[in-house]
Amino acid sequence: MLPQSLGVIGGKPNSAHYFIGYVGEELIYLDPHTTQPAVEPCEDGQVPDETYHCQHPPCRMHICELDPSIAAGFFCKTEDDFDDWCLRIRRLSCKKGGLPMFELVDSQPVHMVSVDTLNLTPDFSDSDRLERFFDSEDEEFEILSL
């Protein structure tokens, strides 16, 4: 529903799908494992797109079959586009009847420890501590920071 959405990667246990849309309560997906060689532009700058078409048609899957381990992709071309995305995400987070997938905050929560606070530098001596700090295998959520 968001113009900045690139889709979702996820699926069922032991399989992965690239979700590109939905119809009712069914998700439309492609198989992300189909690969192809890189395409070189022609001399006139045109890129031949005949190999971009799917060999297999999109499939459908009921949303209840989706494994909760997914990755959502977004792309914002400009800062205004990013601001629009933030506004839309905040509106979705405020809707009643469900929990948001994630939230946007203006600043890092005070209960979160920053790398600067730990005085870590990315040199060899601190690499083990840095790796443990960013390891989120046992966490339910991941905090991303630039």
Q: Which of 52, 74, 96 is the last residue of a domain?
A: 74
Q: What is the residue range of 27's domain?
A: 1-74
Within a domain: 18: yes
Within a domain: 122: no
pTM of this structure = 0.57
Closest Cα to residue 23, out of 66, 55, 64, 63? 63
Within a domain: 134: no
Per-residue pLDDT of the chain (146 residues; tens, 9 = 90+): 789 998 888 877 777 888 888 899 999 988 777 666 777 778 887 777 776 666 678 889 998 888 888 888 999 999 999 999 988 888 887 776 767 777 777 777 777 765 555 555 555 455 555 555 555 555 555 555 54
Handedness of CA 93, 95, 100, 101 (dihedral sign): negative
CA dihedral 55, 74, 138, 98 (to 10 degrees): -100
Residues sharing a CB contact under 8 Å with residue 45, sequence separation 6 or more, in sequence order: none
